[in-house]
């Protein structure tokens, strides 16, 4: 506990929900599904910002950071990366029964793990995953837990047992003040995630790492995975890109104006 | 036999990619054009504990594995071979002392030299001594408690930038039993920086002539055994060559990745050129050869870890990896077509950098001679059989 945290009387117990995504989004044009095989997994970019935020808060106020992730076997590496960034422990939710989960079944499973872990003042997650981008998980977790949620966070300060959050809206910023417990989803680029050192990587492997199956969470198969998911994905299609060359004519000013107009639209 | 990376090694690769994308890649083309290097990278790598991870904890290192060191070298070289070569000189010489130094050398020098700031250089080559390393004519003679050095070294990397130089020189007339290595710190009177040479490879590195005129250094600056420097060098090459070879793999990977991206984007005849079989064949060959080279290097490193003799395996790895880099970067330019020879794309730099790899740390020709010598189990010293 730092001197600062003693003064404030805060010891933040923080959970960070993270997701591993494929480094490159490729779609199988025959089966209309995402290709994951042979593509390297990385931490979802804004989840990395959430980890950075959690570790910064812990360093300032004291406390403990727990990473939680659900996914296939190879996600272990992503969690260890997060531990190397400074988190204290990791929970890896892995079971064949969880495969094919939609956002609701995923949030439900994550919330079951969060409840099993105990009480958190702060739950952080990224705004959205770069592969599916639904932005559902954060709000769904908050809803299941019945706690306040603040989305699109670009800045955050903890003062007098309250959290002041700067939100990024379409055309403006909004600052809100909320009480614990709260779920906050963060925007990519809100901070600069640290790069762990060589020593941090190997120290991370010594930290507490829990693997939880469907039985460990006390769940039934019809509550999770594909069978527990009301959403059925019929097709995934990549956005169509068309290459088109257009030569702009006129004076320099006219060309610049035309170009600006094209970029705007 | 396990061919997979550990989770830690996968993360190591990821963080190196992040580090290089941020600190090295944006500046690479500029280093090359201006023939400069951003030496602040050394401090940044040191902060991440990524310099010389093979140096043991007792000497200020982290005691990492040889494979981890190879991963670091490959990832840095993938972005900039110049950056790999320069930054390796922060730990090559401390590692040399670890391998061939006396106990006094280790206590006196390793921690002092390996401080995350000091940059070293190693000089063997002279006007008439290259592959024939034993023909050096720079002399050091002991006068009281000091070595007095006279002669001129050539192709000295980090010229004028290094904090210290390891000089291979003559301490007795005997061809093989008269060579030693002596450490000279920068600004030592009698050592002057000569002409800087222009070259097509690793253009960011200062390289050229180092002149000694009655340069005096303390007796304790002798590294390794007196008059046994030639044999120490052979032992050292068994490992150091592998880190040069993995740099060639890094260059080739950079060329391959650039080629894949280009082949997916460049459209001809109404489709990406990556859809054409002849391009696909080149990509397949490049990827296969890169993996083969890396596996040869890892095999030799594994033998080193187990304490086995691996001269032949090291030379095979160095020979194959560096010639592979030459072939791969040639194909990369071919895939890029006209763009490949422009400085708008990195592949011409990969090709130029690959060229030195078949020469530096022992030419391909000498690697072949050593491999053959090991195969025929010649009892004669390797270089003698090479020169017979």
B125-178 pLDDT per residue, tens: 998 888 888 889 999 999 999 999 999 999 999 999 999 999 999 999 999 999
Confidence of residue A176 (pLDDT cuts 50, 70, 90): very high
> Could you tell me if B297 and B378 lie in one domain?
yes
Chosen for mutation from B5, B6, B7, B274 (greatest number of chain A CBs closer than 10 Å) is: B7
Burial of B148 (0-12, 13-18, 19+ CB in 10 A): middle
pLDDT digits (tens, 9 = 90+) for A80-115: 999 999 999 999 999 998 888 888 889 999 999 999
Is residue A114 assigned to a domain?
yes
Distance CA(B228)–CA(B217), nearest Å, equals 19
Q: Is residue B1 part of a domain?
A: no
A63 sits in which H/E element: strand A63-70
d(CA A208, CA A117): 13
The Cα of B11 is separated from the nearest Cα of chain A by a number of Å equal to: 6
Torsion sign over Cα B346, B352, B358, B359: negative
Residue B56 lies in a domain: yes
**How many domains does chain B contain in total?**
3
Closest CB to A196 among B10, B15, B267: B15
In a domain, B96, yes or no: yes
Burial A62-101 (b: 16+ CB within 10 A, else e): bbebbbbbbbeeebbbbbbbbbbbbbbbbbbbbbebbeeb
Domain annotation covers residue B329: yes
ipTM of this complex: 0.91
Q: Is residue B251 part of a domain?
A: yes
- pLDDT at residue number B329: 98
User: Which residue, B63, B131, B55, B125, is CA-closest to B95?
Assistant: B55
Residue A126 located in a structural domain:
yes
CA B177 – CA B183 distance, rounded (Å): 19
Co-location of B145 and B12 in the same domain: no
b (16+ CB within 10 A) / e for B153-169 = bbbbbbbebbbbbbbbb
Mean pLDDT of chain B: 94
Closest to B255 (Cα-Cα) out of B297, B278, B277, B285: B285
Chain B segment 22-41 residues within 8 A of A by beta carbon are 22
In a domain, A246, yes or no: no
Domain count, chain A: 1
Mutate to test the interface with A, among B8, B268, B274 (most CBs of A within 10 A): B8
Same domain, B192 and B71: no
Domain-ending residue, one of B113, B147, B178: B113
Q: What is the pLDDT of residue B103?
A: 95
Given B90, B113, B136, the domain boundary residue is B113
Domain assignment of residue B2, yes or no: no
Whether residue A196 lies inside any domain: the answer is yes
- Is residue B80 a part of any domain in this protein? yes
Tens digits of per-residue pLDDT, B301-339?
999 999 999 999 999 999 999 999 999 999 999 999 999
Task: Assign residue B166 the CATH number of its domain.
Answer: 2.40.110.10
Say yes or no to pLDDT of A7 above 70.
no
On the question of a cis peptide bond just before residue A181, with omega within 30 degrees of 0, the verdict is: yes
Q: What confidence tens digit (pLDDT) does each residue in B180-221 have?
A: 999 999 999 999 999 999 999 999 999 999 999 999 999 999
CATH of residue A107's domain is 3.40.50.620
What residue numbers bound the domain in which A83 lies? 3-240
**Is there a single domain that holds both residue B207 and residue B244?**
no
Contact A20, A41 (CB under 8 A): yes
Q: How many Å apart are CA B12 and CA B49, to the nearest integer?
A: 11
Is B19 an 8 Å CB contact of chain A? yes
Q: Do both B283 and B332 map to the same domain?
A: yes
Nearest Cα neighbor of B87 from B127, B125, B53 is B53
Asked about B209 being catalytic, the answer comes back as: no
Q: What are phi and psi of B200, to 5 degrees?
A: -85, -25
Contact B49 A199 (CB under 8 A): yes
Work out the minimum CA distance from B237 to partner chain A, whole angstroms: 26
Is a pLDDT exceeding 90 seen at residue A64?
yes
Higher pLDDT, B305 or A133: B305
- Maximum CA extent, chain B: 78
Q: Is residue B337, in this structure, part of any structural domain at all?
A: yes
Give the model's confidence band at A10: pLDDT under 50 very low, under 70 low, under 90 confident, else very high.
low
Q: What is the pLDDT of residue B387?
A: 46
Report the CATH number that the domain containing residue B99 is assigned in CATH. Answer: 1.10.540.10
Q: For residue A137, is it within any domain?
A: yes
Task: Kindly state whether residue A254 falls inside one of the protein's structural domains.
Answer: no
Residues B297 and B359 in one domain: yes
The answer to whether residue A8 scores a pLDDT higher than 50 is: no
- Residue A203 in any domain: the answer is yes
The pLDDT assigned to A100 comes to 81
Percent of chain B with pLDDT over 70: 97
Contact B221, B327 (CB under 8 A): no
Query: Smallest Cα–Cα separation from B90: which of B63, B124, B52?
Result: B52
In CATH, what number is assigned to the domain containing residue B342? 1.20.140.10
Could you tell me the residue range of the domain that residue B130 belongs to? 120-227
Mean pLDDT of B268-276: 95
Does residue A265 lie within any of the structural domains? no
**Model confidence pLDDT, tens digit, residues B140-155:** 999 999 999 999 999 9
């Amino acid at each position: 506990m730092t001197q600062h945290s003693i003064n404030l009387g805060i010891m933040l117990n923080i959970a960070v929900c993270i997701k591993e995504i494929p480094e490159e989004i490729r779609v199988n044009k025959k089966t209309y599904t995402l290709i994951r095989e042979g593509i390297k997994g990385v931490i979802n970019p804004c989840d990395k910002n959430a980890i950075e935020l959690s570790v910064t808060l812990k360093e300032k106020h004291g406390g403990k950071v727990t990473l939680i992730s659900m996914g296939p076997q190879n996600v272990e590496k992503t969690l260890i990366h997060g531990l190397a960034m400074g988190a204290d422990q990791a929970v890896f939710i892995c079971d064949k029964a969880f495969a094919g989960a939609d956002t609701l079944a995923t949030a439900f499973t994550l919330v079951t793990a969060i409840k099993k872990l105990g009480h958190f003042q702060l739950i952080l997650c990224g705004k959205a995953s770069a592969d599916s981008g639904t932005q559902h998980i954060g709000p769904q977790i908050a809803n299941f837990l019945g706690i306040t949620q603040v989305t699109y966070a670009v800045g955050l300060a903890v003062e007098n047992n309250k959290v002041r959050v700067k939100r990024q809206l379409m055309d403006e910023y909004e600052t809100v003040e909320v009480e614990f417990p709260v779920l906050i989803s963060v925007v990519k680029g809100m901070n600069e995630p640290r790069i762990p050192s060589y020593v941090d990587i190997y120290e991370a492997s010594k930290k507490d790492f829990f693997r939880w199956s469907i039985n460990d969470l006390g769940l039934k198969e019809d509550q999770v995975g594909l069978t527990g998911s009301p959403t059925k994905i019929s097709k995934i299609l990549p956005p169509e890109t068309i290459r088109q060359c257009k030569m702009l004519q006129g004076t320099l000013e006219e060309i610049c104006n035309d170009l600006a107009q094209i970029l705007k639209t | 036999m396990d061919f997979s990376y550990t989770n830690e090694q996968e993360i190591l690769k990821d963080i190196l990619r992040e580090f290089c994308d941020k600190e090295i890649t944006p500046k690479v083309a500029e280093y090359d054009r201006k023939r400069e290097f951003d030496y602040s990278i050394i401090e940044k790598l040191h902060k991440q504990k990524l310099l010389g991870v093979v140096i043991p904890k007792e000497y200020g290192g982290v005691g990492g594995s040889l494979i981890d060191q190879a991963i670091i070298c490959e990832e840095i070289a993938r972005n900039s071979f110049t950056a790999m070569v320069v930054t390796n000189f922060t730990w090559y010489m401390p590692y040399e002392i670890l391998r061939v130094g006396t106990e006094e050398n280790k206590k006196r020098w390793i921690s002092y030299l390996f401080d995350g700031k000091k940059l070293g250089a190693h000089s063997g080559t002279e006007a008439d001594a290259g592959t024939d390393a034993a023909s050096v004519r720079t002399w050091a003679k002991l006068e009281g408690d000091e070595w007095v050095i006279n002669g001129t070294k050539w192709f000295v990397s980090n010229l004028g930038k290094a904090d210290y130089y390891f000089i291979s020189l003559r301490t007795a007339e005997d061809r093989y039993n008269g060579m030693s290595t002596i450490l000279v710190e920068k600004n030592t009177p009698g050592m002057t920086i000569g002409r800087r040479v222009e070259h097509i490879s690793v253009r960011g590195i200062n390289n050229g002539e180092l002149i000694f005129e009655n340069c005096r250094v303390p007796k304790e600056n002798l590294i390794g055994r007196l008059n046994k420097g030639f044999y120490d060098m052979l032992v050292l090459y068994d490992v150091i060559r592998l880190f040069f070879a993995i740099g060639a793999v890094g260059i080739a990977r950079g060329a391959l990745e650039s080629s894949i991206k280009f082949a997916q984007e460049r459209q001809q005849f109404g489709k990406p050129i990556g859809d054409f079989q002849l391009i696909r064949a080149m990509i397949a060959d490049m990827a296969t050869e890169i993996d083969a080279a890396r596996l040869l290097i890892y095999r030799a490193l594994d033998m080193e870890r187990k304490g086995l003799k691996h001269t032949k395996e090291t030379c095979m790895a160095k020979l194959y990896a560096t010639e592979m880099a030459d072939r791969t970067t040639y194909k990369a330019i071919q895939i890029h077509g006209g763009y490949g020879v422009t400085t708008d794309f990195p592949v011409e730099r990969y090709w130029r950098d690959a060229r030195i790899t078949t020469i530096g740390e022992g030419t391909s020709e000498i690697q072949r001679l050593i491999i053959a010598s090991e195969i025929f189990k010649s009892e004669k010293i390797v270089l003698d059989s090479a020169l017979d």
